[in-house]
Amino acid sequence: MQRRDLLKAGVGSAAAASVAALVTSESQTAQGQQPQGSSGNAIKPTGFPAKNLPPVRETIKPLQLSDELVCTTPQAVYLLPRDHKFHAGGFYACNEFWEWHYFSGFAKDNEGNDYALFFGTDPVGYNAETGGYAFLPAIISISPIKEGKKYAYFGNFPVFEPQRPADSTSPADFQYVLRNDDAGWSIDERYYANDERWVFRMKSKNPKDPWCDLDIRLGAPGYIPRTPTGIEEEGFNDQGRYNPQTMHGLSYYYIAPNMPFTGKFGFDGRVVELTGSVWLEHQWGNIKGMDQENCRWRWFSFRFDDGRMLAFRHWVTLPDNMPVHERNHYCMIHPDGRIEYGFPNRDFRFTPTRTFSVPGVDAQWNPERLMETPFGNFFLKSLVDDSVYVSKSGMTFWEGPMSIHKDNSAGERTGTAYVEQYFQPRGGPKIMRTGPEQDLARELPKAGITPR
């Protein structure tokens, strides 16, 4: 059977559980009843991973060989909860480094009104003068669906203070404090490993700015490798070279598609208490090379009312944003615990049916589109057209909530989606590149030569 056919056939429950154990070896998935999303249907647990599966660390038997002549240290792709933390140093001290904790989702207030949410932190590159990240933007956004409008802040946070929470109970816990003192904004992001709990708080000195205080828990199906290997190929260089030693053109990538939360959100002088679920994306690597088309994509996260959850990345290339099929891929999580991967993927077809532009921005946005997929055809309709984000740094993208309809625009509504359209020049905006350029795509070094 071809590799592609095997992936399309779906990973069985037991095999999928083994993959889950790899990335959740130090934590347990929180189970239980899930809150309702904006579609009005409960997000169903998947039964993933399998019950009574021992942690991966307990199944690794050390070889009875000398450490002097063989490598005996386990080489996990990533190990959770350790790798929930941000990464830095070593071969990540370069312009190509990019990472994000990225949450998007849906919620209801006490009166049953629907909201779409989007928030996260995004360290980029390296600054040799400070020894820290070159650029650390963060975003917070709330969109009342019935208003069709977003309330958002998107900007840089020059101060980054990583620390342990005062109430920490595990070495894996962390607290990231981000500040923009001139603007009066601050973010407090925390993770507590023993409880699989995330906290996200945003404050502003301007009472009209959006702010939040959210308590987020891990729900079924837990953390999922976004690709069969847990690594995404953002695109090789012009000579066709990746480099796993420097992570050139590669990134580590996992998701948690269902994280129930409760908390408060403030915007425009109003305060709402919300209950819902967000989808976490954590990705990091050296993925902003100047010789790669790696900063142009469409990203989709689908939440179907029948309990399925689907992630899809649609890479495009200049000059006409044609799809790059060898890099496009999807991940479907079924209610029975199966994970179905398509990588590479030529089975999704994307046809925009409505386009608009924003003054001063050289990009076209597609708030409606037909999706032809291996799982049937469906149509996406924007719930909030006002979802374009423009920063002074040059980063511009559309990030918005959509409704899913069966077959066509007049079809039955079958779920909700969050969609991103991100079109940037090679290497990203100039503000992301403060250090000297390096050739991270070079061949693996000879003995004694260490990448810098």
Q: Which residue ranges form the domains of the chain, and what is each CATH number?
A: 3-63+72-432 (2.40.370.10)
Read off the pLDDT band of 445 (50, 70, 90). low
pLDDT digits (tens, 9 = 90+) for 47-81: 455 555 566 666 666 656 666 777 767 778 899 99
Report whether 170 contacts 192 (CB < 8 A): yes
Please tell me whether the peptide bond between 445 and the residue prior to it is cis, using omega within 30 degrees of 0: no
* DSSP-assigned beta bridge partners for residue 390: 396
The H-or-E segment that residue 451 falls in is none
pLDDT tens-place string over residues 14-55: 334 434 434 444 443 333 334 434 444 444 444 455 555 566
User: How far is the CA of 289 from the CAs of 199, 340, 344, in angstroms?
Assistant: 33, 30, 21
CA distance 401 to 169: 36
In whole angstroms, what is the distance from residue 403 CA to residue 304 CA? 10
Length of the chain: 452
pLDDT given at position 440:
86
Least confident segment among 161-175, 287-301, 438-452: 438-452
Is the Cβ–Cβ distance between 331 and 10 less than 8 Å? no
**Helix, strand, coil abundance in the chain, percent, nearest 5:** 5, 45, 50
The percentage of residues in the chain with a pLDDT greater than 70, rounded to a whole number, is 80
What rounded mean pLDDT belongs to the chain? 83
Q: pLDDT tens for residues 353-403?
A: 998 887 777 777 889 999 999 999 999 999 999 898 877 767 788 899 999
Q: In 109-245, at which residue ranges do the beta strands (DSSP E only) sit?
A: 114-121, 137-144, 151-156, 159-163, 174-180, 185-192, 197-204, 211-217, 224-225, 231-233
Q: What is the pLDDT of residue 63?
A: 58
What pTM did the predictor assign? 0.86
Report which secondary-structure segment, H or E, holds 276: strand 270-286
> Distance (Å, rounded) from C-alpha 294 to C-alpha 316?
9
Give, for 112, the enclosing helix (H) or strand (E).
none
Burial (CB count within 10 angstroms: exposed 0-12, middle 13-18, buried 19+), residue 216: buried
With a CB cutoff of 8 Å and minimum separation 6, the contacts of 425 are: 295
Please determine, for residue 284, whether its predicted confidence score (pLDDT) is greater than 90.
yes
Structure-model confidence comparison of residues 74 and 410, the more confident one: 410
Confidence at residue 345, expressed as pLDDT on a 0 to 100 scale: 76
| Residue 45 CB neighbours (<10 A) | 18
Distance CA 446, CA 433 (A): 28
Average the pLDDT over 77-96 and give the result: 92
pLDDT at 238: 67
pLDDT of residue 15: 38
d(CA 253, CA 433): 23
Query: What is the rounded average pLDDT of the residues 243-264?
Result: 93
User: For 185-223, how does the pLDDT look when each residue is reduced to its tens digit (9 = 90+)?
Assistant: 999 999 999 999 999 999 999 989 999 999 999 999 999
Q: Which residues contact 174 (CB under 8 A, 6 or more apart)?
A: 84, 85, 162, 163, 164, 165, 190, 191
Please report the pLDDT score of residue 270 as a whole number. Answer: 95
Q: Is the dihedral of CA 133, 315, 245, 223 positive or negative?
A: positive
- 329-333 and 270-286 beta bridge pairing: unpaired
Distance between CA atoms of residues 92 and 245, nearest Å: 11
